[in-house]
């Protein structure tokens, strides 16, 4: 390769990087419009299988879409009411929680004094503020609620997306100059995205139900709210379950002491172990995982780009990028870098060849 060709490759790389920066800057500047659209698209993807199921039962598609919209509106209003009432109730109970927190730490303070470490009540409240148990999660839920303030726009966008869903694969084939629909990568990409979102939503719903019921049995306040938080944060593997567990564990410790806090932590750990390592891989299949580093970086990146909604949808958005890269031969190398386990991306035939070579040697 000549010097001029090397310069051309370098200039092309810089140009691509500049295009990406410009596009990201445009998305961030237009986030008030982009965020409701992204949220609408994910809700539409999740709802589309239910719409198709109703149409197979000979329910007109228009009626099926209207019924689904009624369900979404009712769920949105219920979530807003739940978060608002929980915040108001917690604000009223905050002085009581502060007193309970000092009582729970009394034995620790006594033990520390034997080592000449003297901590005051104000220092304990400064390091372990009960208000932080709720503010960390309600701030994110409130941001999502702020996006849902454009409920009318979101509902209209979802309705039009659901009506267009039937013709979307055909339009993509024609747009990519494939009228005979020979490019199976397009169908594979659409199917994989739809499968991931639906299964992830069902697993998250199961996680939220188990956590909510378990916390109600233990006796932790606002069990329903923590169940909703567990449902939403389950879209963020590894990190999300930890973030969702912190306020509930802290509140259980304040209310009932270390034993209840340990039981709450065990509930979250057991639920996420079973749902994340047994149920989800059973129905999701292998090869769709992201490395822990990629999950963490995607949380930061999408959170910076799209705010709190971007943090909640960081892993689904990254998964869509990864699925698209896997469907393309030129982008498969980047999908391998994003994957959690390289072996899941290796075709079975290649694995068999490797085993045969090892046996022969």
- Give the Cα separation of 84 and 316 in Å (integer): 27
Q: What is the DSSP string of 58-98?
A: T--HHHHHHHHHHHHHHHHHHHHHHHHHHHHHHHHHHHHHH
* CB burial string 113-149: b at 16+ within 10 A, e below: eeeeeeeeeeebeeebebeebbeebbebbebbbebbe
Lowest mean per-residue pLDDT among 115-129, 162-176, 286-300: 115-129
For the segment 165-188, the average pLDDT, to the nearest whole number, is 66
Q: Is 128 helix (H, G, I), strand (E, B) or coil?
A: coil
Does the pLDDT at position 312 exceed 60?
yes
Does the pLDDT at position 130 exceed 70?
no
**CB neighbour list of residue 49: distance below 8 Å, 6 or more residues apart:** 194, 198
pLDDT at 351: 43
- Percent of the chain exceeding pLDDT 70 equals 70
For the segment 138-163, the average pLDDT, to the nearest whole number, is 71
As a whole number of Å, the CA-based R_g of the chain is 25
Does the pLDDT at position 315 exceed 50?
yes
pLDDT tens, 21-78? 888 888 888 888 888 888 888 888 888 888 888 888 888 888 888 898 888 888 878 8
Does the pLDDT at position 291 exceed 80?
no
For the segment 177-187, the average pLDDT, to the nearest whole number, is 61
- Percent of the chain exceeding pLDDT 90 equals 7
Does the pLDDT at position 356 exceed 60?
no
Does the pLDDT at position 350 exceed 80?
no
List the chain domain ranges: 29-360
Question: In terms of pTM, does the model score above 0.75?
Answer: no
Confidence of residue 120 (pLDDT cuts 50, 70, 90): low
């Amino acid at each position: 390769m000549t010097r001029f060709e090397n310069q051309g490759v370098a200039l092309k790389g810089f140009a691509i990087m500049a295009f990406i920066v410009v596009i990201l800057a445009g998305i961030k500047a237009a986030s008030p419009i982009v965020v409701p659209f992204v949220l609408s698209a994910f809700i539409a993807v999740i709802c589309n299988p239910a719409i198709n199921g109703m149409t197979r039962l000979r329910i007109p598609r228009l009626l099926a879409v209207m019924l689904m919209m009624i369900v979404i509106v009712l769920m949105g209003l219920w979530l807003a009411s739940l978060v608002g009432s929980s915040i108001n109730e917690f604000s009223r109970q905050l002085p009581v929680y502060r007193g309970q927190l000092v009582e729970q730490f009394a034995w620790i303070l006594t033990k520390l004094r034997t080592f000449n470490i003297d901590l005051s009540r104000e220092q304990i409240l400064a390091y372990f503020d009960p208000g932080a148990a709720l503010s960390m999660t309600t701030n994110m839920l409130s941001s999502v609620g702020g996006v849902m303030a454009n409920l009318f726009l979101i509902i209209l966008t979802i309705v039009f997306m659901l009506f267009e869903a039937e013709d979307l694969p055909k339009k993509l084939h024609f747009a990519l100059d494939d009228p005979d629909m020979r490019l199976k990568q397009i169908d594979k990409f659409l199917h994989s995205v739809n499968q991931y979102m639906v299964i992830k939503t069902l697993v998250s719903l199961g996680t939220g139900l188990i956590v909510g019921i378990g916390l109600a049995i233990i006796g932790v306040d606002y069990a329903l709210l923590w169940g909703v938080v567990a449902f939403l944060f389950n879209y963020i593997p590894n990190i999300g379950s930890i973030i969702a567990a912190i306020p509930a564990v802290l509140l259980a410790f304040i209310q009932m002491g270390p034993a209840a806090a340990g039981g709450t932590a065990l509930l979250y750990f057991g639920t996420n172990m079973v749902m994340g390592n047994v149920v989800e891989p059973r129905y999701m299949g292998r090869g769709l995982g992201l490395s822990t580093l990629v999950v963490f970086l995607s949380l930061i990146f999408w959170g910076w780009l799209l705010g709190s909604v971007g943090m909640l949808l960081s892993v689904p958005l990254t998964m869509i990028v990864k699925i698209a890269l896997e469907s393309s031969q030129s982008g498969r190398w980047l999908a391998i870098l994003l994957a959690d386990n390289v072996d899941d991306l290796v075709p079975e035939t290649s694995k068999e060849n490797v085993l045969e070579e090892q046996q022969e040697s």
